[in-house]
Structures are given as structure tokens and as C-alpha cells.
């Protein structure tokens, strides 16, 4: 039976650890948050409630990466995507050839970033893949308990290069039936809606954050006009995707497919009918992943690659700069640029050949 290491003990990592261990798989759960790990070690068992209900006891819960990676077959990285570079670098000395290294999710360019570290610089012969989204619509309001608010019926996954996706599906498909093979990591990374749905509403409601107000993030935070801004930015994302040869769906159509919904006339109306989105609370700090992660690993690579391919992205550029001003950081410098992903100067055809 496969042995798993899960890197990251947030809501997604805890859910995955509980689900897999409840099914009899060997699971090691790791996180750098020592206080969280200490509490999980005390509890031993992780509970999942909501649309999925189960309890699982990981074989080992640790803050030590070497312990987590010892004698495992699959490494599931369930962290914020801005941590991928650091995690890959720290994992490198403890990996062995033939292991499967999966980003959950990869966001824009995650597999490309990790491959440069593990393969190009580290010389490891590992199978690298990324999911287009986290498989679980979940939140954790208390360590050791994860609430599953909805089921994602289809989650795309692709290997880098794409010719290895079949091997990934042979391993993970029977365990995670909602995974579906995608043509390449361009489709898994650049078709996701996180870069649209997270930083924009968070920044448009920054006054509420400053005042310490709590609100329903999607139901109240995305008003009709905020939805219009998201849609305008999403048109730029679709244009970048199509310049890369990716037949990307507009955000509304993508959400309709993911959550098996009836089509709606407007993005605002559609979001109001996504049950798993209801009741999810707002970010309370500018350090939240909705702002930092989705800017660095979503907006920046889209805008950077778009600019390289001659696609204008004024809305994305604006929100990258606004996020930087709010956070006091230079996300253009810190984020996943075309240069950092090894794509600088390449044509769309060359990029597709690289990932195929």
C-alpha cells in the first residue's frame, strides 16, 4: 500500500491526512508550525466534518521534514503556493529517485518552479505533478478539526512533462476519483480562478479589514460591481491563456463546471448560488494567502508571461501594485516571473513544447 507524506497541516493538509489514514494508508503529516504540530500530536486523531465525515490517525505528525519524507512513495505538498520554492529546496536532500511529488495546487507555474529546483539544480529523477485546485473545499477553525463545505467533482491534474500524466493517474486516480487528467501544467496552472477570486475582493474590501469587520467573504464581499471588476481582470487571464494555446474557460463557465451548477447570466449571480462558498469568513490580515499567495503565484506569472507574449494586462498590473502598496512588498520582484519559471524569451510554441 502506498505511503504518503503530506507537507502542510492547514485545513487541506489535515483533511487529506484524515481521509487517507481513515482509508488505511500510511500517512506522515508535517508542518513548520510547532505549536500546531504539538496540538495535533496531543489529539492524535483528526476529524473531518461536513460533506465528508471521517476520522483519521496519521502514523506520524512532525515538524521535522526528514522524518516526514523517510520511506514514502508520494509527497503531497498542501501548502500555500508561495512556499513551494522553499519547500522544494528543503526537501531536495531527502528525496529519492522514483518518488511522486505533487503540488496541491500548483497555481501558475508551480510545477515549473519546483522542477527547476529538484531536477535542473538537484538532479533528482522524481515524478512532478500539480493539481489545478485543492481537492477539498474546506476550512479549519480549530486545530484537529476540518470542515468540508463542498465537494469538487472534477479537479484537473497534470505532470511535467505532460507525457507522464498517465503514470500519475495510475497512482492517484483510484485514490482520488475527482482527479481528471489535464493536457499540461499550463491548463492546471493558468485556468484556475484563485487569482481572480482572492486578491481582488480582499483588496476591494480592505477598509473592512482595517476596521476589524467580519463578513461573508463571497456572499457579501463580492458585490455586483466587485464581480464586474473580477470579470474584467478575468478577460486578461483568458487572453494570456489563449496566447499560450490554452483554451481557457471564462471564470463563470469554469465555476459552473467545477460545482455542477446551472449557468447564470452574471458572475455575481453565479457566485451567490455556490453553496460551498456560503459562510466562509473574510481575511483579517494583509498577510493572508488570498492577498500574498494569489498575487505572487497567480497575478504576477499571468501578467509577466502575458507581457512577454504581447498581451496587455492593465487590471492585473494595477492589483499587483495595489497589493504591494498594502503589504509593503514588491510582488513584481518576489513573485513568479517568467524569468524565475525558466520561460523568459520563449515563444508560446516553445513553452508548450517544454511542458508537453
The string of pLDDT tens digits covering residues 57-72 is: 999 999 999 999 999 9
pLDDT band at residue 193 using 50, 70 and 90 as cut-offs: confident
Residue 54: burial class (beta carbons within 10 Å; 0-12, 13-18, 19+): middle
CATH topology of domain 194-355: 1.10.1040
Mean pLDDT of the chain: 95
- DSSP code for 17: H
CB 16 within 8 A of CB 76: yes
Q: Is the pLDDT of residue 325 over 90?
A: yes
Mean pLDDT of 41-57: 95
Mean pLDDT of 85-100: 96
Mean pLDDT of 223-252: 96
Mean pLDDT of 152-162: 92
- pLDDT reported for residue 108: 94
Residue by residue, DSSP assigns 271-332 as HTT-GGGTTPBPP-STTSTTTHHHIIIIIHHHHHHHHHTT---HHHHHHHHHHHHHHTS-HH
| Residue found under cell 459562510 | 279
What residue spans define the domains of the chain? 3-190, 194-355
- pLDDT reported for residue 66: 97
ω before 105 within 30° of 0 (cis)?
yes
Phi-psi region of 276 (alpha: psi -120 to 50; beta: other; left: phi over 0): alpha
pLDDT band at residue 192 using 50, 70 and 90 as cut-offs: confident
**Torsion angle in degrees (nearest 10) through CA of 302, 308, 313, 318:** 80
- Which three cell numbers, joined as nine digits, stand for 200? 481582488
Q: What is the pLDDT of residues 255-289, one digit of tens each?
A: 998 788 999 999 999 999 999 899 889 999 999 99
CB 150 within 8 A of CB 139: no
Q: Is the pLDDT of residue 253 over 80?
A: yes
Helix (H) or strand (E) holding 44: none
Q: What is the pLDDT of residues 95-137, one digit of tens each?
A: 999 999 999 999 999 999 999 999 989 999 999 999 998 998 8
* 3-190 is a CATH 3.10.290.10 domain: no
- pLDDT reported for residue 166: 97
Mean pLDDT of 32-47: 97
- pLDDT reported for residue 98: 95
User: Which of 192, 125, 122 lies closest to 157, judged by CA?
Assistant: 192
Q: What is the pLDDT of residues 168-188, one digit of tens each?
A: 999 999 999 999 999 999 999
Mean pLDDT of 9-33: 97
Q: Is the pLDDT of residue 151 over 80?
A: no
Amino acid at each position: 500500500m502506498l505511503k504518503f507524506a503530506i507537507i502542510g497541516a492547514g485545513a487541506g493538509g489535515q483533511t487529506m491526512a484524515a481521509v487517507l489514514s481513515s482509508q488505511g494508508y500510511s500517512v506522515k503529516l508535517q508542518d513548520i508550525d510547532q505549536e500546531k504540530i504539538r496540538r495535533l500530536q496531543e489529539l492524535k486523531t483528526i476529524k473531518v466534518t461536513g460533506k465528508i465525515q471521517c476520522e483519521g490517525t496519521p502514523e506520524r505528525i512532525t515538524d521535522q521534514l526528514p522524518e516526514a519524507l523517510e520511506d514514502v512513495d508520494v509527497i503531497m505538498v498542501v501548502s500555500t503556493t508561495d512556499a513551494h520554492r522553499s519547500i522544494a529546496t528543503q526537501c531536495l536532500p531527502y528525496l529519492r529517485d522514483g518518488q511522486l511529488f505533487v503540488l496541491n495546487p500548483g497555481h501558475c507555474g508551480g510545477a515549473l518552479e519546483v522542477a527547476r529546483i529538484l531536477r535542473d539544480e538537484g538532479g533528482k529523477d522524481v515524478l512532478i505533478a500539480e493539481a489545478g485546485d485543492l481537492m477539498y473545499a474546506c476550512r479549519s477553525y480549530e486545530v484537529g478539526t476540518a470542515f468540508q463545505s463542498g465537494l469538487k467533482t472534477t479537479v484537473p491534474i497534470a505532470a511535467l512533462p505532460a507525457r507522464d500524466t498517465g503514470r500519475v493517474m495510475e497512482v492517484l486516480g483510484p485514490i482520488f476519483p475527482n482527479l481528471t487528467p489535464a493536457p499540461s501544467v499550463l491548463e492546471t496552472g493558468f485556468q484556475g480562478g484563485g487569482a481572480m477570486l482572492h486578491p481582488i475582493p480582499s483588496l476591494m474590501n480592505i477598509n473592512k479589514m482595517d476596521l476589524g469587520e467580519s463578513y461573508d467573504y463571497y456572499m457579501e464581499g463580492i458585490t455586483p460591481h466587485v464581480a464586474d471588476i473580477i470579470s474584467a481582470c478575468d478577460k486578461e487571464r483568458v487572453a494570456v491563456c489563449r496566447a499560450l494555446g490554452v483554451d481557457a474557460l471564462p471564470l463563470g463557465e469554469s465555476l459552473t463546471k467545477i460545482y455542477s451548477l446551472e449557468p447564470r447570466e452574471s458572475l455575481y449571480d453565479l457566485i451567490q448560488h455556490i453553496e460551498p462558498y456560503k459562510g466562509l469568513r473574510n481575511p483579517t490580515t494583509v498577510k493572508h494567502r488570498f492577498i500574498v499567495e494569489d498575487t505572487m503565484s497567480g497575478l504576477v506569472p499571468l501578467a509577466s508571461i502575458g507581457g512577454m507574449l504581447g498581451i496587455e494586462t492593465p487590471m492585473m498590473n494595477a492589483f499587483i501594485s495595489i497589493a504591494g502598496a498594502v503589504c509593503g512588498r514588491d510582488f513584481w520582484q518576489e513573485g513568479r516571473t517568467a524569468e524565475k519559471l525558466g520561460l523568459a524569451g520563449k515563444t508560446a510554441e516553445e513553452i508548450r513544447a517544454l511542458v508537453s
